[in-house]
């Protein structure tokens, strides 16, 4: 899980909390907020859990929202191992960082958002396209949803 920041005219700086499945490149959660808080990180993770598949572990940086007691407790309560990366080491979060570059190139630099709700709607559409339409070279040129839900079936 990581955070991408950008500005919306008339709104100011916003933060996109995102998660990506390491093996399938599926993005189970992508949420936009005005602030970086543990509550927003928890809401994003809870949203991801709603896809029907629980991660064994999540990798985060050492931002306050991720090392907060409430976030750590939420992970523990859901049997999710929290792995906190070394400071100033974005290489450890390479897949989510690569996703954010794609999101910037294909969405944020192309759309003028009118407000936070509009940005949330467009992010939701983009996530759907990324997961279900856009083929990914790192997983054999299939869409992330194919791999993610195939794995989910094999786990049942």
* pTM (predicted TM-score): 0.92
Q: What's the pLDDT tens digit per position in 43-65?
A: 999 999 998 789 999 999 999 99
pLDDT at 52: 76
In this structure, what DSSP letter does residue 7 have? Answer: E
- Of 50-54, 114-118, 133-137, 138-142, the range with the lowest mean pLDDT is 50-54
What is residue 120's predicted lDDT score, i.e. its pLDDT? 97
Query: How far, in Å, are 42, 106, 130, 144, 151 from residue 133 at the CA level?
Result: 28, 14, 6, 9, 18
Greatest extent of the chain over all pairs of C-alpha atoms, in Å: 47
Q: What is the rounded average pLDDT for all residues in the chain?
A: 93
- Tell me the residue range of the domain where 81 lies: 2-155
pLDDT in the model for residue 152: 59
What is the CATH classification number for the domain harbouring 108? Answer: 3.30.420.10
Q: Which residue has the tokens 């992010």?
A: 123
Q: Over 60: is that where the pLDDT of 156 sits?
A: no
Q: Structural domain tally of the chain?
A: 1
Name which residue leads in pLDDT, 52 or 151.
52
């Amino acid at each position: 899980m990581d955070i991408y920041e950008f500005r919306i005219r008339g709104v100011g700086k916003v933060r996109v909390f995102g998660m990506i499945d390491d093996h399938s490149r599926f993005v189970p959660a992508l949420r936009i907020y005005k602030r970086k808080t543990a509550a927003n990180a928890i809401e994003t993770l809870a949203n991801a859990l709603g896809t029907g598949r629980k991660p064994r572990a999540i990798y985060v940086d050492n931002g306050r929202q991720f090392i907060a007691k409430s976030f750590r407790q939420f992970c523990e309560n859901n049997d999710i191992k929290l792995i906190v990366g070394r400071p100033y080491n974005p290489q450890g979060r390479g897949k989510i960082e690569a996703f954010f570059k794609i999101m910037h190139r294909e969405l944020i630099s192309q759309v003028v958002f009118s407000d936070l709700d509009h940005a949330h709607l467009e992010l939701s559409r983009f996530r759907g396209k990324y997961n279900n339409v856009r083929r990914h070279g790192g997983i054999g040129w299939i869409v992330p949803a194919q791999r993610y839900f195939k794995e989910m079936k094999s786990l049942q």
